[in-house]
Amino acid sequence: MDVTRQLDETARELRDALTRLPRTLPPRWLYDDRGSELFSRITGVPEYYQTETERQILADHSAAIAEITEATTVIELGSGTSDKTRTLLDAFTAHGLIERFVPLDVSEQTVLDAGEMLSERHPDIEISPVVGDFTRHLHRLGEVASSGPKLVMFLGGTIGNFYVEERRAFLGALGDVLAPGDWVLIGLDQIKAVDRLIAAYDDDQGVTEAFIRNALTNINATYDGNLDVGNFGYVPFWDGRQERIDMRLRAEEPMHARLEGLDLDLDLGAGEEIRVEISSKFRPERLAAELHEAGFDASRGVFADDDDDFALLLAQRR
């Protein structure tokens, strides 16, 4: 009997990822409610510069973004707590055209709490939270009615979590569901000194390590598993050829684990790794070229901080 045919799409994806070499985890397993809480804590550790830098860029340029796009509907992919989004929505409200905000996130409680917070802050905007995975549910964006242009935001450097082929497929799918005249605003972490990059993913408080480990805890809980989370060491490193941070968990001793819900027995040798997440770093022109291939005019604006640590790239669907 073919076990994989009896599993849903999410389970099949995970089973395949764990049984192929090199072993990987789909990013969705990082973002249960606990994972979302840990990521929120990561954004506050001293080594993690991205969140506050992007927040400052939004504070400096949100009014210009509202004026350029004149969007009536704003959609945020992987919205999380929508903390930084408040700055942008304030600017769009002041501009006077926005009617609706749609936060989309895989963590149900997180996106509902964010929706409630934003509804209180912006009572004149329709807040429509959506529980979903932006790697699978982009087609829902085409179902979002709007009286004017839509702006899709993809903040936090999350674009860097895709492998090259996945990123191009994602941008292509985004181009397919948006209409000519719609907009995307993408946050990208720029290339910088390697020691700063590694420190941002290996903070002294160990919050990032806990976030990465929690993916295994989430899988155990979901699929009745007994993966020994404590048997893994956390291994973050810079891949200079791919220009990305690679975050892995390495088995310190040989282990056998059973994931009952996947009907999967998993054997790992000492030193064997599971790649949990990557975070690619960019030069804006590289991402602009990929957006152009996906059907966007990526010449509409790059907004960056004074040190060029981080940037927001604005592009319009052609």
CA–CA dist 43, 52 (Å, integer): 8
Taking 70 as the pLDDT cut, the residues of the chain under it are: 1-6
Sketch the domain layout of the chain as residue ranges: 3-30+195-280, 50-192+282-317
Question: In sequence order, what are the beta bridge partners of 259?
Answer: 225, 264
Q: Which fold has domain 50-192+282-317?
A: Rossmann fold (3.40.50)
Tell me what pLDDT residue 106 has: 86
Structure-token pair, residue 145: 């009615």
Rounded CA-CA distance 310/54 in Å is: 7
- Per-residue buried b or exposed e for 166-179, using 16+ beta carbons within 10 Å of the residue's own CB: ebeebbebbbebbe
Whole-structure pTM value: 0.92
Cβ burial 201-238 (10 Å sphere, 16+ → b, else e): bbbeeebbbbbbbbbbbbbbebbebebeeebbebbbeb
pLDDT on residue 232: 98
Which is it for strands 150-154 and 73-77: parallel, antiparallel or unpaired?
A: parallel
pLDDT digit string, tens, across residues 221-253: 999 999 999 999 999 999 999 999 999 999 999
For the record, the structure tokens of 86 come out as 């408040």
pLDDT number for residue 6: 58
Q: How far is CA 155 from the centre of its chain?
A: 8
